[in-house]
């Protein structure tokens, strides 16, 4: 049997990490530096996940919630993020105000478009109250049925919109009432003008 050449042996040894010491010294520092970069990036994303103002979660379309950050837990009235790792059934019955139908509609949109942006809905909090939120959802590439979501509390914005709508309704009512008053005043004025014309004709007839 032919023996591998020296060049082939050196190439194989290098591929397996069995090269000479000088080769390892030239490659390992680069690998170590790359690992340090990846670890720093991982720690940065972990810090952002745990300290974000908005809620962040990861969920499976087959199993339910897999991870949630403290901000999402606080939004929903829980002290521990682990408490909001609902199963798929609990998501439909305990979290989404629209229940299973809403969850099915979201799943259908993600299956078709791979993402859902600016979705406004209402979630149930631990105490039974409701929370108005805006959600951005993304179906993670390469991982079947894995969804990453970002949740913003828009309750104050909704309250401001409702207050503005109430003000608009009140303004419209005042405008309508003022319009009715002006129409009534105009009718009275027209009646007075007609009466004065009638009196004027009567005076002319009496004079003649």
Instruction: Tell me the whole-structure pTM to 2 decimals.
Output: 0.62
In a shared domain, residues 148 and 159? no
Residue 60 lies in a domain: yes
In a shared domain, residues 58 and 91? yes
In a shared domain, residues 138 and 160? no
Structure tokens at 198: 């009638």
**Domain end position, chosen among 117, 138, 153:** 153
Mean pLDDT score, 149-171: 85
Query: Which helix H or strand E contains 177, and what residues bound it?
Result: helix 155-207
**18: helix, coil or strand?**
coil
- The Cα–Cα gap between 68 and 58 comes to 7
Question: What is the phi-psi region of residue 35: left when phi exceeds 0, alpha when psi lies from -120 to 50, beta otherwise?
Answer: alpha
Residue 2 lies in a domain: no
Mean pLDDT for the chain? 82
Residue 67 lies in a domain: yes
- The Cα–Cα gap between 118 and 110 comes to 13
In a shared domain, residues 147 and 82? yes
pLDDT digits (tens, 9 = 90+) for 21-79: 455 445 567 777 777 777 777 777 777 778 888 999 999 988 899 999 999 999 999 99
Number of folded domains in the chain?
Answer: 3
Range of the domain at 202: 155-208
């Amino acid at each position: 049997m032919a023996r591998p050449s020296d060049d082939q042996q050196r190439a194989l040894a290098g591929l397996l990490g069995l090269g000479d010491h000088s080769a390892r010294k030239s490659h390992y520092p680069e690998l170590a530096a790359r690992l340090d970069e990846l670890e720093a990036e991982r720690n940065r994303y972990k810090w952002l996940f745990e300290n974000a103002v908005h809620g962040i979660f990861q969920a499976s379309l087959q199993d339910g919630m897999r991870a949630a950050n403290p901000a999402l837990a606080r939004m929903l009235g829980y002290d521990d993020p682990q408490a909001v790792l609902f199963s798929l059934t609990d998501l439909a019955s305990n979290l989404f105000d629209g229940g299973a139908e809403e969850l099915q509609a979201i799943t259908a949109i993600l299956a078709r478009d791979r993402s859902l942006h600016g979705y406004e809905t209402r979630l149930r909090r631990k105490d039974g109250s409701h929370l108005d939120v805006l959600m951005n959802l993304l179906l993670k590439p390469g991982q079947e049925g894995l969804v990453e979501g970002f949740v913003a509390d828009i309750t104050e914005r909704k309250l401001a919109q409702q207050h503005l709508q109430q003000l608009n309704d009140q303004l419209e009512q005042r405008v309508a009432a003022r319009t009715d008053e002006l129409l009534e005043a105009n009718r009275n004025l027209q009646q007075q003008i007609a009466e004065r014309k009638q009196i004027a004709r009567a005076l002319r007839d009496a004079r003649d």
